């Protein structure tokens, strides 16, 4: 079995890594705030004191960071993974970053003879906890086949989607639609409410047939009914993704008009202090934008 | 059983009216192009030669027209319904128009002592054919209760949502989300394709978990795979709804940024000659906007 290193034990990483050790893989973990590794230590993981130490004792290092800067820091920074380069070492980056960032990181890693799979995940902390993430992988297909079973410990679906950067691309593109399902429900409910429709009647109409009942819409309606917007996928993180979506669309000459509109809504929501709410809090934000709250 | 008049046998009306006669209601129909009434005549409907004739032999007149102008023409025009006013006559308008248009029509009808239920429908011609529309009703609740069973012959759900105009409001608001599910899938797939992701792999990722698999998304993916964009809900009709959505949002001070962005996309799609395609043709339109076709 592959010896696995896991770097980045935040909201998502801390819920993903346990599936790896529970499946029997020897696991070494690293997190800048060491206390976040305690739960994994109890499960039997070795806690490394630096990224390089995690790399030295692993065949494959998984990184799960907030942004490209974070990924670059643990790979190329002081005591970074590349300093632990050894025969056969592979990096799987599961962070959500832009395709051109993945490609740039892959190029820098290749100077050390280290291949990269860009393998971001779809799903919230609930999916991470349940081992039911969607994992989208870009990079060499043979390498993907070697690590398919490892990735499967954390996921419901693992799909190789194409060359380097394409895992990151479909992840971002998918989040465009996630944002749009939430945003359009919020706009729909604000418009209906302002026209005098009872909110519960509006929800009854929307859930009355399957046209609009995606997982995102169904979960958001549940949150509206329970008045619970505790962050499972924070609004400021989806704002970050919208920023990367616009960055990528601009770089590739792709026209994404609703993503551009949503980006502005999210900028304003973060500016007004709602960044740490769940992204489905756009329900209340759109009501406030329209004078309903 | 109520004697029913049905005016407007277009793509939708011609598929809705048969459910009424099949449920045993005496039915009189009228359509400007008389030949469109032939199929209903065979089912046993009486074919009226004018709206006033349909009104005179009915307790309730249903109108299913393309726009408010069409509704006003059959109600208030030459040989219009109001000229057949008699004790207990009721109008149920199932057309998709703006809330302020419904309210204005209700006011004009009230001068003749005729109450109105604004009762637009959600769903495509397939749902109309199957008798599985979603019907949203605004207006007097007692009147709604009287006609609930009649409306149920055509629908899966019939919901009274509030006062006059609120049926129209939730219908339009709901179509905002319908448009957004299609538009965001199109933007997602264009962005992914331009970044080198195989389209079938992108679809595999999107359908791999329930987050995005609304009825609209599932149907559109089926159409992409079958390359079949024959109109079930024509792009130019959803453009008309987006126009009414913006009109209503502006009148009511509601902020609907993605609806505004989609309105511009649909204007351009119609200008470029795609108005008679199914609205899900935005898949190809967004690809063309991004130089992929």
**In 10 A of CB A42, how many CB atoms?**
9
If one counts the domains in chain B, the total is 2
Contact criterion met (CB < 8 Å) for A157 and B183: no
* Boundary of a domain, candidates A110, A144, A163: A163
Does the annotation count A171 as an active-site position? yes
**pLDDT at position A10, please?**
94
Range 82-121 of B in CB contact (< 8 A) with A: 99
Mutation target to probe the B interface, by most B beta carbons within 10 A, among A164, A195, A251, A263 is A195
Question: Nearest Cβ partner of A197 from B166, B181, B259?
Answer: B166
User: Which residue in chain B is spatially nearest to A214 when comparing CA positions?
Assistant: B214
The residue-averaged pLDDT of B218-247 equals 96
The confidence band for B229, taking pLDDT boundaries of 50, 70 and 90, is very high
Q: Write down how long chain A is.
A: 293
Ranges of beta strands (E only) in chain A are 4-7, 27-30, 46-47, 60-63, 90-93, 116-118, 121-122, 133-138, 155-162
**CATH code: domain of residue A89:** 3.40.50.720
B98 and B196, same domain (yes or no): no
Query: B74-78: long-range contacts (C-beta < 8 A, 24 or more apart)?
Result: B74/B7, B74/B8, B74/B30, B75/B51, B75/B105, B75/B108, B75/B109, B76/B108, B77/B51
**CATH code: domain of residue A239:** 1.10.1040.10
The residue-averaged pLDDT of B102-129 equals 95
Contact criterion met (CB < 8 Å) for B211 and A122: yes
Range 197-226 of A in CB contact (< 8 A) with B: 197-198, 201-202, 204-206, 208-217
For residue B158, what are the domain limits?
4-163
Tell me the β-bridge partners of B155: B133
| Cβ pairs A/B, distance under 8 A | 275
**In 10 A of CB A112, how many CB atoms?**
15
Interface contact B48, partner A, CB < 8 A? no
**In 10 A of CB B198, how many CB atoms?**
16
DSSP states of B52-112: HHHHHT-SEEEE--SSHHHHHHHHHSTT-GGGG--TT-EEEE-S---HHHHHHHHHHHHTT
Tell me the β-bridge partners of A157: A134
A121 and A201, same domain (yes or no): no
Residues on chain B touching A290 (C-beta within 8 angstroms): 253-255
A63 and A173, same domain (yes or no): no
Find the farthest-apart pair of alpha carbons in chain A and give their distance in angstroms, rounded: 67
Mutation target to probe the B interface, by most B beta carbons within 10 A, among A120, A132, A155, A184 is A184
Interface contact B176, partner A, CB < 8 A? yes
Express each pLDDT in B136-194 by its tens digit.
999 999 999 999 999 999 998 999 999 999 999 999 999 999 999 999 999 999 999 99
**pLDDT at position A262, please?**
98
Rounded distance, CA B127 to CA B104, Å?
Answer: 29
Q: Are A171 and B149 in contact (CB under 8 A)?
A: no
Contacts of B89 (CB under 8 A, 6+ apart): B55, B58, B59, B60, B61, B114
**pLDDT at position A123, please?**
85
End-to-end CA separation in angstroms for chain B:
56
Whether the predicted pLDDT of B96 surpasses 90: yes
A159 and A231, same domain (yes or no): no
* Boundary of a domain, candidates A136, A163, A190: A163
The confidence band for B123, taking pLDDT boundaries of 50, 70 and 90, is confident
B20 and B154, same domain (yes or no): yes
In three-state secondary structure terms, A172 is: helix
Contact criterion met (CB < 8 Å) for A290 and B185: no
B231 and B207, same domain (yes or no): yes
Contact criterion met (CB < 8 Å) for B194 and A254: yes
Identify the active-site residue in A171, A194, A201, A240: A171
B181 and B225, same domain (yes or no): yes
Strands B60-63 and B90-93: parallel
**pLDDT at position A13, please?**
97
**In 10 A of CB A74, how many CB atoms?**
28
- Ranges of chain A whose pLDDT falls below 70: none
**pLDDT at position A227, please?**
97
B239 and B266, same domain (yes or no): yes
A27 and A154, same domain (yes or no): yes
Mean pLDDT of chain B: 96
Express each pLDDT in B42-89 by its tens digit.
999 999 999 999 999 999 999 999 999 999 999 999 999 999 999 999
To the nearest whole Å, the CA of B81 is away from the closest chain A CA by 28
The confidence band for B198, taking pLDDT boundaries of 50, 70 and 90, is very high
* A104, A203, A215 from A220: Cα distances, Å: 36, 11, 8
**pLDDT at position A176, please?**
98
* Boundary of a domain, candidates B108, B143, B163: B163
A41 and A150, same domain (yes or no): yes
**pLDDT at position A209, please?**
83
A243 and A183, same domain (yes or no): yes
CA atoms A140, A142, A146, A150: torsion sign = positive
Contact criterion met (CB < 8 Å) for B256 and A187: yes
B208 and B226, same domain (yes or no): yes
């Amino acid at each position: 079995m592959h010896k696995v290193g896991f770097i980045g034990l935040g909201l998502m990483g801390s819920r993903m890594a346990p599936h790896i050790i529970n499946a029997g893989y020897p696991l070494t973990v690293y997190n800048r705030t060491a206390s976040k590794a305690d739960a994994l230590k109890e499960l039997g993981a070795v806690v490394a004191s630096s990224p390089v130490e995690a790399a030295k004792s692993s065949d494959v290092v998984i990184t799960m960071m907030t942004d490209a800067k974070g990924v670059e820091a643990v790979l190329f920074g002081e005591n970074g993974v590349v300093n632990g380069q050894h025969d056969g070492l592979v990096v799987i980056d599961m962070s959500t970053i832009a395709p051109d960032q993945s490609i740039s990181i892959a190029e820098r890693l290749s100077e050390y003879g280290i291949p990269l799979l860009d393998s971001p995940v779809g799903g919230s902390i609930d999916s991470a906890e349940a081992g039911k993430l969607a994992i989208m992988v870009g990079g060499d297909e043979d390498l993907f086949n070697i690590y398919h079973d490892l990735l499967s410990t954390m996921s419901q679906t693992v799909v190789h989607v194409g060359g380097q950067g394409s895992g990151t691309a479909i992840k971002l593109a998918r989040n465009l639609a996630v944002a749009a399902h939430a945003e359009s429900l919020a706009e729909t409910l604000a418009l209906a409410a302002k026209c005098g429709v009872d909110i519960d009647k509006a929800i009854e109409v929307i859930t009355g047939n399957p046209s609009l009942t995606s997982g995102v819409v169904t979960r958001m309606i549940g949150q509206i009914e329970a008045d619970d917007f505790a962050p499972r996928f924070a609004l400021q993180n989806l704002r970050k993704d919208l920023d990367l979506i616009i960055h990528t669309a601009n770089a590739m000459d792709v026209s994404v008009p609703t993503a551009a509109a949503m980006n502005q809504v999210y900028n304003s929501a973060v500016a007004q202090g709602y960044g740490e709410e769940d992204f489905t809090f756009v329900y209340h934000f759109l009501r406030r934008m329209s004078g309903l709250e």
